[in-house]
């Protein structure tokens, strides 16, 4: 949300056509967003779970409070403020779009004429684009803040939420809030936190679900944290039934005064339901057809005919299902607009990443404990500039005239690995890793012990399939809670890359080739972690630390500078394991793409899961669940900022084939067939030893 300064040494002549495409998409996306329905984008997002109440700072609070006061002496209601906010947002996005078009024309003029006046204007205009983008983002944050403030009820009214879902409330005994939720007192730190001194500490499953209707639930980040962690204390069916009961009991209040408690419960129920679908469809509804069927049946039979909420939810479910299956044709017009808007924002963010990358890059280095000083600093100044992003033709084998087919990758062997640069291989491996990482969800990293994930083991045993893993051992979710096992697929992919690295090395037939390949993989890993692709870097490190690989004679003749990279990688591994939120420090993760190590992240979550989840009175510890939600939220944070390298599909195809070939290989068996993997005794020295032995034996018989 902060504008990033332009790099002082940015080379305008390196700006690529890819950047122009980003500018076009960016201008269209922000212009379209105000036309979406008011219920668009109910999910608070990862930042709400990570920052909590700090997500909306005092500036946002003050801006909304003062909005409209200059037009009227009376304070406007929230609906009037939202209308004015929409108008401001539309005006700013139009100005932003015009500036992008002007900047585009200026870029083309600069390429043709190379005039000094045009070149001097570009940095200034770039700064204006940054400021305008920050302003649009700020207004969108204010809009989300205005939405979050609506439809909540005060704490004293929360028991009403429970009673509203009961068919017969006459026989219900009065229920006090203290029997459902437990708070602890703290000093008031946030000026926009109305409760200030009360922080939720624990609650019963019913109480925690009820707190979703609290006035500050969205503002405190509670809703997003709940959506990440509710499976520890209730099933998806129980949560859905809780929401549907609240909607059913308040159907008659849908058109009443919006200030009444029942109307607030009705509207908040739909906000929560839509936020759940938007954020967790892939892990809850896509894997549970009964749950999805129950929701669709309820909407079609009871809600669709009343107002636009039902149609909106059905459209959202249809879009989510199409996105999950890859069927873009099923998206409605509104959903397509949302998708284009989201894609445009990603590419816009990538553009701004390029503008500010030179500044962020200077602060990125590692410190080793052996007195080696800072290492791993960027040494390629043009690594992310426009022209450098497009990979050069890596070798003749990938040209159209090549006589070597990629279908015969086994025959080509590691030759292409040696001919391609470490940077090119880093880019394509990063894109392959990003493709796998973008399919995961924060919830996938929860309860990983039940899937058989353990420390120093990237996946369950190859002899045991994912279907046969016992979920009864160490299962922290409720027994009837359905858990998506995509984490196993993610870790199996990591294991395959590590095995591929080890296999490529031990199958080299000469020590000289092994040294070259070791140097190449070490350079690739270094490039990966410098680009914050820690997943691939740690996978390569695991392959190099294979017991067979570490015993190869080639390590002894490896150049000292190259061998130092191994120490750097170990230092990075220690850094990643030191703190669960180490990659979220500072603002680099907002401007530079990041892919974390899935296994390291799973181990951090397992550490947070250690210990009891409930207090002596049976209440679930919300402070523990909140910390877990904060750690896993970084998955969505990193997915928001993708890598923008140009894909080389032929090189990717070659890498896929090599990885697939060796993914289940026995490294010890491969090494046994290659004499270069053994320490060789020189023939002359070996002959002398035999003669000395014979001489000693002869002496014993004399």
Domain boundaries, the chain: 44-150, 155-167+177-187+195-323, 420-455+481-673
Sheet order of strands, 620-621 included: 181-185, 198-203, 620-621
Instruction: Between 469 and 425, name the one with better pLDDT.
Output: 425
DSSP category for residue 151: S
Q: What is the 3-state secondary structure (H, E, C) of 565-612?
A: HHHHHHHHHHHHHHCCCHHHCCCHHHHCCCECCHHHHHHHHHHHHCCC
307-314 own/partner pairs: CB under 8 Å, 24+ apart: 307/254, 308/37, 308/39, 309/39, 309/270, 312/37, 312/39, 312/274, 313/270, 313/273, 313/274, 313/277
CB atoms within 10 A of CB 17: 10
The share of the chain scoring above pLDDT 70, in percent, equals 70
Rounded-to-integer distance, Cα 102 and Cα 111, Å: 15
What proportions of the chain, in percent to the nearest 5, are helix, strand and coil?
Answer: 65, 5, 30
pLDDT band for position 115 (cuts 50, 70, 90)? low
pTM greater than the 0.95 cutoff: no
Q: Is a pLDDT exceeding 80 seen at residue 134?
A: yes
* Architecture of domain 420-455+481-673 in this structure: Orthogonal Bundle (1.10)
More confident of the two residues 552 and 362 = 552
CA dihedral 151, 160, 196, 192 (to 10 degrees): 10
Please report the pLDDT score of residue 39 as a whole number.
46
700 φ, ψ (degrees, to nearest 5): -70, -25
Residue among 179, 201, 197, 176 nearest 188 (CA): 197
**Phi/psi at 687 (5° precision):** -65, -40
Highest mean pLDDT among 128-142, 338-352, 367-381: 128-142
Q: Pick the range with the lowest mean pLDDT from 86-100, 126-140, 369-383, 595-609.
A: 369-383
Q: Is the pLDDT of residue 661 over 80?
A: yes
pLDDT over 80 (residue 699): no
Higher pLDDT, 186 or 187: 186
pLDDT for residue 329: 39
Average pLDDT over residues 371-399: 34
From the options 1.10.150.130, 3.60.150.10, 3.40.50.12140, 1.20.870.10, give the CATH code of 155-167+177-187+195-323.
Answer: 1.20.870.10
pLDDT at 492: 96
Q: Are 641 and 589 in contact (CB under 8 A)?
A: yes
Rounded CA Rg of the chain = 29
| 82 confidence band (pLDDT: 50, 70, 90) | confident
């Amino acid at each position: 949300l902060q504008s990033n300064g332009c790099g002082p040494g940015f080379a305008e002549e390196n700006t690529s056509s890819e950047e122009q495409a980003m500018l076009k998409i960016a201008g269209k996306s922000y212009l379209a967003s105000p036309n979406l329905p008011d219920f668009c984008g109910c999910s608070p997002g990862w930042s709400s779970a990570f920052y909590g109440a700090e997500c909306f700072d005092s500036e946002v609070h003050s801006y909304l409070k003062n909005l409209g006061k200059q037009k009227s002496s009376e304070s406007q209601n929230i609906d009037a403020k939202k209308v004015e906010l929409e108008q401001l947002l539309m005006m700013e996005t139009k100005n932003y779009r015009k500036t992008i078009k002007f900047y585009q024309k200026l870029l083309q003029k600069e390429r043709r004429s190379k005039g000094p006046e045009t070149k001097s204007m570009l940095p200034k205009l770039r700064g204006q684009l940054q400021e305008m983008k920050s302003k649009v983002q700020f207004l969108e944050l204010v809009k989300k803040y205005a939405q979050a403030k609506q439809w909540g009820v005060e704490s004293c009214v929360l028991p009403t939420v429970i009673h509203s879902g009961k068919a017969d409330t006459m026989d219900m005994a009065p229920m006090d809030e203290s029997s459902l939720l437990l708070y602890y007192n703290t000093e008031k730190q946030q000026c926009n936190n109305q409760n200030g001194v009360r922080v939720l500490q624990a609650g019963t499953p019913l109480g925690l679900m009820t707190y979703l209707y609290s006035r500050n639930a969205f503002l405190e980040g509670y809703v997003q944290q709940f959506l990440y962690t509710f499976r520890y204390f209730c099933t998806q069916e129980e949560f859905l039934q809780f929401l549907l009961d609240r909607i059913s009991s308040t159907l008659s209040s849908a058109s009443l005064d919006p200030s009444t408690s029942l109307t607030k419960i009705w509207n908040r129920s739909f906000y929560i339901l839509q936020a759940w679908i938007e954020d967790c469809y892939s892990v809850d509804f896509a894997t549970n057809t009964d749950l999805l069927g129950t929701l669709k049946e309820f909407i079609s039979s009871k809600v669709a005919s009343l107002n636009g909420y039902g149609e909106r939810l059905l459209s959202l479910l249809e879009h989510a299902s199409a996105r999950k299956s890859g069927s873009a044709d099923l998206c409605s017009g509104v959903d397509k607009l949302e998708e284009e808007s989201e894609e445009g924002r990603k590419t816009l963010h990538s553009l701004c990443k390029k503008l500010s990358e030179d500044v962020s890059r200077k602060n990125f280095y590692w410190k080793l404990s052996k007195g080696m000083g800072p290492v791993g600093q960027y040494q390629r100044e043009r690594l992310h500039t426009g022209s450098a992003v497009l990979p050069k033709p890596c070798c003749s084998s990938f040209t159209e005239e090549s006589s070597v087919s990629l279908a015969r990758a086994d025959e080509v062997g590691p030759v292409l690995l040696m001919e391609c640069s470490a940077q090119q291989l880093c880019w394509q491996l990063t894109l392959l890793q990003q493709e796998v990482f973008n399919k995961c969800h924060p919830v996938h990293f929860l309860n990983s012990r039940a899937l058989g994930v353990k420390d120093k083991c990237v996946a369950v045993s190859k002899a045991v399939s994912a279907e046969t893993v016992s979920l009864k051992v160490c299962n922290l979710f409720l027994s009837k809670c359905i858990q998506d096992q995509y984490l196993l697929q993610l870790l199996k992919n990591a294991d395959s890359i590590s095995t591929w690295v080890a296999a490529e090395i031990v199958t080299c037939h000469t020590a000289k080739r092994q040294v070259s390949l070791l140097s190449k993989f070490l350079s690739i890993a270094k490039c990966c972690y410098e680009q914050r692709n820690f997943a691939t870097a740690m996978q390569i490190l695991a392959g190099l630390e294979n017991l067979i690989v570490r015993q190869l004679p080639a390590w002894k003749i490896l150049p000292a500078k190259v061998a130092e990279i191994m120490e750097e990688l170990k230092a990075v591994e220690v850094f990643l394991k030191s703190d669960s939120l180490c990659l979220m420090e500072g603002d680099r993760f907002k401007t530079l793409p990041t892919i974390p190590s899935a296994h390291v992240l799973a181990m951090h979550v397992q550490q947070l899961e250690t210990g009891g989840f409930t207090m002596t009175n049976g209440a679930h510890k919300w402070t523990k669940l909140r910390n877990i939600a904060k750690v896993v939220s970084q998955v969505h944070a990193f997915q928001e900022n993708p890598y923008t390298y140009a894909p080389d599909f032929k090189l990717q195809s070659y890498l896929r084939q090599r990885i697939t070939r060796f993914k289940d290989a026995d490294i010890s068996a491969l090494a046994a067939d290659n004499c270069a993997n053994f320490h060789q005794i020189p023939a002359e020295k070996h002959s002398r030893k035999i003669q000395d032995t014979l001489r000693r034996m002869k002496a014993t018989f004399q």
